[in-house]
Amino acid sequence: MEDLWSVAAAVFQLWMFVVVFLIMLPAMFGLSLGVTGVYIQVLVKILEWATVRIQRGQQEQPSVPVPLPSGIIERASGSMQEVLGQQFALSDVLFFCKKGLESIVDDQVTQRFSSEELASWNLLTRTNQNFRYISLRLTIIWGVGVFIRYGVLFPLRFTLAIIGLSWLVIGTTLVGFLPDSSVKNWLSELVHLTCYRICARGLSATVHYHNKENRPQKGGICVANHTTPIDVVILANDGCYAMVGQVHGGLLGVIQRSMVRSCPHVWFERSEMKDRHAVTSRLRAHVAAKTKLPILIFPEGTCINNTSVMMFKKGSFEIGGTIYPVAIKYDPRFGDAFWNSSKFNMVNYLLRMMTSWAIVVNVWYLPPMTLQDGEDAAQFANRVKSAIAHQGGLLDLDWDGGLKRGKVKDSFKEEQQKMYSTAESKSRK
């Protein structure tokens, strides 16, 4: 029995040595030993080999259907005016019937709230039902991958997450007791930065930051497309931000209260969130203080599945100040970063993230943008959204992400009716 305890103690000491000295400490100082890079390269080779095996199996078994192309219907290109022409005709009814059926079968909104389809199986889950050919060797590789992900990576990542969050709560609480000064601000930023770096390393995150000269500056507003709650960790791994959000209870509430002691994060009560003017005034006061950290806002208001950027709420662009756009694009081959909050709660989602292969993401810092003469907040929001979509290789959609749980606003219907009536009136003239 004593031998068993000595073996367990030796394993625990080895485990903590790996976690603390080979992962946590290098992460806190922004260093890398290159292990994650080698791990990603090995994964790429394995996934490429798996893709070739599946394609070969499909050729050997002609009865197996080929993967479906993106989208299950072929949409006609062209605007309403181009398709219908300049004169009214009774056949115009068929155009609207066709568009209505297309939206029922495969609309542009609901498909943005389901996991992105992959070109091939990534040995995590079958994201397309047509990937049916699985060889014996692929099955063995999958079984080994399950053991590595759940038996090695998950305990390691869970340990790092506990350490990172504990350090955040303890560190920010201690810094909060210091009087306001430049030293307190520096220590607060150091605590936040090291915490997020530990959490990012715990997810095997490989982040490629582009155009760092455009990073958000103090007194500004950082806006980005939103795929997952991990977006915060990804961005804060390269710089500190003032978070904006609703006050929560439980563990998340403990973290929020400790964070706000050392850094001026902007937390709102549920009643305040409904008061648009109160939210705007508090954010405007934060931006006016040029010494405070840039505010991090996700104007879509909900998570989108890493393929598109949906309508930005204009409230973030009515505050004033400089907008620093950021485009975030995850590599779906190593894991599905999208959080489908209608399907998974936070615990289930984090479990999926901690048992995925890795988080590989590109972050582009775009040049700062300001409101132009003659431009209102909605037009400014659309201009920023288009720039983010173009840089990230994402679809630029005008639809409101609130349609995830709500109905289409009457204003959208009226806009389509107005476009059609305008085309008809021009044809009469």
- Long-range CB pairs of 37-46 (<8 Å, 24+ gap) are 37/206, 39/204, 39/358, 40/206, 40/334, 40/358, 40/360, 43/334, 43/357, 43/358, 44/333, 46/123, 46/141
Between the alpha carbon of residue 78 and those of residues 53, 85, 228, 412, the distances in Å are 40, 11, 33, 19
Phi and psi based region of residue 396 (left: phi greater than 0; alpha: psi -120 to 50; beta: remaining): beta
Give, to the nearest 10 degrees, the angle between helix 346-354 and helix 154-176: 120
Supply 54's token pair: 């599946």
Query: How high is the pLDDT of residue 209?
Result: 94
Between the alpha carbon of residue 139 and those of residues 53, 133, 196, the distances in Å are 11, 10, 36
Give the 3-state secondary structure of residue 243.
Answer: strand
Strand-by-strand arrangement of the 205-210 sheet:
205-210, 359-365, 323-330, 221-224, 295-297, 242-246, 266-268
CA–CA separation, 200 and 157 (whole Å)? 9
| Burial class of residue 138, CB neighbours in 10 A (0-12, 13-18, 19+) | middle
| Nearest alpha carbon to residue 246 among 278, 208, 203, 214 | 278
Beta bridge partner(s), residue 210: 364
Total domains, the chain:
1
Query: How high is the pLDDT of residue 416?
Result: 61
Identify whether 260 is part of a domain: yes
Beta bridge partner(s), residue 381: none
Query: How high is the pLDDT of residue 328?
Result: 96
Query: How high is the pLDDT of residue 72?
Result: 46
Between the alpha carbon of residue 239 and those of residues 46, 218, 233, 419, the distances in Å are 33, 11, 10, 45
Q: Alpha helix (H) ranges present in 238-339?
A: 250-262, 270-273, 276-288
Q: Mean pLDDT for each consecutive 10-residue tract of the chain (429 residues)? A: 75 74 75 82 88 72 51 52 54 63 59 72 64 71 90 90 88 87 87 89 88 91 92 90 79 79 78 69 82 88 88 85 93 88 83 90 94 88 94 87 63 62 55
Identify whether 355 is part of a domain: yes
Identify whether 48 is part of a domain: no
Residue entry with tokens 């920023």: 384
Query: How high is the pLDDT of residue 133?
Result: 58
Between the alpha carbon of residue 53 and those of residues 159, 331, 345, 393, the distances in Å are 36, 21, 35, 29
Query: How high is the pLDDT of residue 67?
Result: 47
Query: How high is the pLDDT of residue 128?
Result: 46
Identify whether 88 is part of a domain: no
Identify whether 138 is part of a domain: no
Question: In the 8-state DSSP scheme, what is residue 117?
Answer: P
CA–CA separation, 395 and 384 (whole Å)? 14
Q: Alpha helix (H) ranges present in 319-366?
A: 346-354
Identify whether 215 is part of a domain: yes
Identify whether 122 is part of a domain: no
* pTM for the model: 0.81
- Long-range CB pairs of 267-271 (<8 Å, 24+ gap) are 267/243, 268/244, 270/246
Supply 142's token pair: 């999958």
* Distance spanning both ends of the chain, measured CA to CA: 97
| Residue 186 lies in domain | 150-406
Query: How high is the pLDDT of residue 178?
Result: 87
